Structure 1
């Protein structure tokens, strides 16, 4: 992989073919190591749990339907359920529906009925058709395919319209990320491979492709890649230690317990640490690319500045970026866990008591580990970028314009007007 000027500008300075070849060799070694890791951890199809979906049982299917009417139904909901947890008080609902399989009726519980299912809504239902019995229906979910597709198209159009080719290549990078996750990493987890090495191999492969796709092949991008890999290694090491130190088992919710039953080979403890690596990729990528670009821009603006001056200036930018990125991590968790946070306030328990539960502690540790990797990636990337950026050089003095009259010769004083001489 050769390094060229990604934008056709002079930010990269004069060509440095020897450095480009050395860096290409290092990147090539990393790519080969990723390929070997993929070969080692690639799961065979018979190791991956199959046919575990309860909705694929004989006579059971998920179909699309349209609500024709919804009527309140008194069902005595409220109080405590069989598991001791409070139930939603209120009326249930009787829902009539029509589908390609004919008409049917289902009962909504009070919680779902309270949110509202109205005539004309497009829903998905579980159709259970036993031999010799009339089919029965259960509510599964709303049909969201069209809104999700339209939102994705709007996002893609805006990204391409604003960022142009860079935006298009970034979208291709998203597709590559999803491909690696769904075809390699997640199947390897299910097959019982050690999740943390799998996450490191998969994440490194994603960064190799995504960074060069989105930002071009250049020495500057390679500096960002090396900084990202450094932050990735720190996140993985600290995540593995923090997971054991905090006694995170990976069984913090009902979904975790179902996964343990469906895929008994999965190391849920290791999945917690692997999730920390994957979750930190986006912010790491953002920070390292910004730091590398800052160093190159500073070098272009101050070609005669020393490496120490460039590093100091870039770190001032990096400190601001660290502050905003740490907020991003916290806000992202607060937004995704809003229901849990509301429940904490409703229970009127202390924040410390709730934070030490498995479900919340996983997110807290994940956020803190990601923040540690992010913070340390900034000076690492800055050091690497300063070392790889063009060397300091003196500013060339501008030559006089051909139409500009020459200045006075050295050692010869220009005659001043008599008035100014008298002054």
Structure 2
């Protein structure tokens, strides 16, 4: 039995012991999301499929898995789901513009040598592919932030049912401020952890600071992180407003 199986078993046991039935559903959700990602990769390279439309559908499915399958259908997950969809639409429009203006689509010179034996004339729009990849990278953090805000706001309303809509919204913003810094830094360090080999490449080949910040592959990842941070920032007031609007009936 290889290391992957053992690590999977240990993860399942810990999630089951700590999370109970919800922990089991969370473990299974990992494989469901992995399946959605695999299907997305297959369809994104199909010339007749619009990557933007398909990635929106994929994000909806991922949000349903992470919210409704794990936490069941309730007021907390419904408000988090609505907030996630609104944020995705706003962020997607912004990301498409950024991808076109910054010209980060395609491959950097560090990747060209490995791909030189293949033809890049595959009939797909690389701008839309780049936008789809960035929104897919941000969906997990956006969904996590949305439920992290809607859940305590629902608890606040449960214990203080006479709270006004404005006060509940303000409480959500305060909660979001505590989450914002850690969520943005999580995305930042995930980049450096995943692309440590790229940074070592820059060091070995004596890249100057100017060459690093102008590298396409570096810029593509940094822009992806910044767009994800913008999405996290947007989902906080959106979730706070949607939750307050749905829970408090004035």
Query: Under a length normalisation based on structure 1, what TM-score does the superposition of the two structures give?
Result: 0.55
1:155 aligns with 2:11: yes
How many residues end up aligned between the 2 structures? 247
Which ranges in structure 2 are unaligned for 5 or more consecutive residues? none
1:168 is aligned to: 24
Change (3 A) 1:271 1:255: farther
1:250 is aligned to: 106
Aligned CA-pair RMSD: 2.2
Deviation of the 1:344 alpha carbon: 2.9
- SS at 2:30's partner residue? helix
Deviation of the 1:169 alpha carbon: 1.2
1:187 is aligned to: 42
Rounded to whole Å, the distance in 2 between the matches of 1:259 and 1:294 is: 53
2:158 is aligned to: 300
Q: Of 361, 375, 378, which residue of structure 1 is paired with 2:236?
A: 378
Change (3 A) 1:343 1:317: same
Q: Answer 1 or 2: which has greater strand percent.
A: 1
Q: Of 192, 197, 200, which residue of structure 2 is paired with 1:339?
A: 197
- SS at 2:146's partner residue? helix
1:228 aligns with 2:87: no
Rounded to whole Å, the distance in 2 between the matches of 1:283 and 1:275 is: 14
Q: Deviations over 1:162-209 (max 9, x none)?
A: 1111111112222221222223x2221222222222111111122123
Contact (CA 8 Å) 2:51, 2:128: kept in 1 or not?
A: yes
- SS at 1:248's partner residue? coil
Deviation of the 1:255 alpha carbon: 8.0
Contact (CA 8 Å) 1:330, 1:367: kept in 2 or not?
A: yes
Contact (CA 8 Å) 1:235, 1:276: kept in 2 or not?
A: no
Contact (CA 8 Å) 1:196, 1:273: kept in 2 or not?
A: yes
Q: Which has the larger radius of gyration?
A: 1
Contact (CA 8 Å) 1:291, 1:381: kept in 2 or not?
A: yes
Contact (CA 8 Å) 2:164, 2:248: kept in 1 or not?
A: no
Change (3 A) 1:210 1:256: farther
Deviation of the 1:343 alpha carbon: 3.1
Q: What aligned pairs does 1:102-141 form with structure 2 within 5 A after superposition?
A: none
Deviation of the 1:349 alpha carbon: 3.9
Rounded to whole Å, the distance in 2 between the matches of 1:234 and 1:156 is: 36
Contact (CA 8 Å) 2:77, 2:147: kept in 1 or not?
A: yes
Rounded to whole Å, the distance in 2 between the matches of 1:316 and 1:354 is: 37
Contact (CA 8 Å) 1:159, 1:168: kept in 2 or not?
A: yes
Q: Answer 1 or 2: which has greater helix percent.
A: 2
Contact (CA 8 Å) 2:165, 2:248: kept in 1 or not?
A: no
Rounded to whole Å, the distance in 2 between the matches of 1:276 and 1:202 is: 13
Which ranges in structure 1 are unaligned for 5 or more consecutive residues? 1-144, 393-423
More relative contact order, 1 or 2 (CA 8 Å, 6+ apart): 2
Query: Under a length normalisation based on structure 2, what TM-score does the superposition of the two structures give?
Result: 0.90
2:183 is aligned to: 325
1:58 is aligned to: none
- SS at 1:164's partner residue? helix
- SS at 1:264's partner residue? coil
Q: What aligned pairs does 1:18-37 form with structure 2 within 5 A after superposition?
A: none
Rounded to whole Å, the distance in 2 between the matches of 1:256 and 1:374 is: 35
